[in-house]
Amino acid sequence: MSTSATATRSILIADDEPLARERLRRLVEALPGYRVCGEAADGDTALKQVAALEPDVLLLDIRMPGMDGMEAATQLEKLTNPPALIFCTAYDHYAIQAFDVRAAAYLLKPVRREALADALARTGRINRVQLKTLTDLSEDDGEQIAVRTHRGTELIDLADIQHCEADQKYVTLHHSHGETVCDYTLKELETTYPRQLLRIHRHTLVGVRYIQALKRTPDGQNLVVLRDNRGQLPVSRRHASNVRQWLQEHRPG
């Protein structure tokens, strides 16, 4: 598989619908730096093509005859150097299962060119072998969260989330690649990911891996200082003790 960041990256398309494959092929070939190396109409053929062609990325439908896309993805997990995986499907209710096979993205049909370009760009930043290595080093780092957006269902690495901010009925996830509005509540996020997200305010959760320090301003305001000059976030009096306790428990040495 390609290792050069500037080399043309090869894409395998697996979908049982010829028109869907043709549309994806047109989208891929319109993007610079990518080429379609092959096609498959079912999961079994997709696995054989992966072995024969060694694509960099697999665009995979889920509902197909014989071995479906999710089964094929599970088999790909057993490979020592699997392709990056992007699901392209008409069904959004498989997004949670996509976590288990470490899909780089989950796109809803009809796939938009911008969404595909963004997903392919993300696979170029870190391939699935590297992701698995990071996951082996730290169990938390491999977790992802499924977020429904106007582009479909997106998978965001939990380790990339710097903070979550509630504004009326929406919560915005501020992460390494920008901002994403989701329909989760802060309470749901806090309860589901207690090791990764810490409550610092009624309206804010912070990603614990980004906490550097807690400081107090001359006027008595508590602030969390984020690592790598990512800024500061206000901490309410009620939650300041939680931040102090976290720092004490995780301070090096």
CB atoms within 10 A of CB 62: 23
Stretch 75-88: mean pLDDT: 85
What long-range pairs does 22-28 form, CB within 8 A, spacing at least 24? Answer: 23/110, 23/111, 24/59, 24/88, 24/111, 24/116, 27/111, 27/113, 27/116, 28/59, 28/116, 28/120
Q: Which residue has the tokens 């090869």?
A: 10
Q: By the 8 A CB rule, do 225 and 214 touch?
A: yes
Read off the pLDDT of residues 194-212 as tens digits, 9 standing for 90 and up.
Answer: 889 999 999 999 999 999 9
Q: Tokens in use for 181?
A: 């509005």
Residue 251's pLDDT is 66
Stretch 113-142: mean pLDDT: 60
Stretch 179-189: mean pLDDT: 85
Residue 173's pLDDT is 93
Stretch 15-27: mean pLDDT: 95
pLDDT of residue 129 exceeding 70: no
Residue 132's pLDDT is 45
Residue 150's pLDDT is 61
DSSP bridge pairs for 204 = 165, 201
**Cis before 252 (ω within 30):** no
pLDDT of residue 178 exceeding 80: yes
Of 133 and 19, the structure prediction assigns the larger pLDDT to 19
Burial of 250 (0-12, 13-18, 19+ CB in 10 A): exposed
CA distances from 104 to 7, 79, 247 (A): 20, 16, 32
Q: By the 8 A CB rule, do 141 and 93 touch?
A: no
pLDDT of residue 131 exceeding 70: no
Residue 6 — pLDDT band, cuts 50, 70, 90? very low
Residue 121 — pLDDT band, cuts 50, 70, 90? confident
Residue 177's pLDDT is 86
Stretch 230-238: mean pLDDT: 94
Among candidate residues 112, 85, 89, the one with its CA nearest the CA of residue 17: 89
CA distances from 154 to 146, 220, 249 (A): 6, 40, 33
Residue 60's pLDDT is 93
**CB neighbour list of residue 139: distance below 8 Å, 6 or more residues apart:** none
What is the Cα–Cα distance from 77 to 94, expressed in whole angstroms?
A: 17
What is the Cα–Cα distance from 63 to 212, expressed in whole angstroms?
A: 45
Residue 126's pLDDT is 43
0.85 exceeded by pTM: no
pLDDT of residue 55 exceeding 80: yes
> Can you give the length of the chain in residues?
253
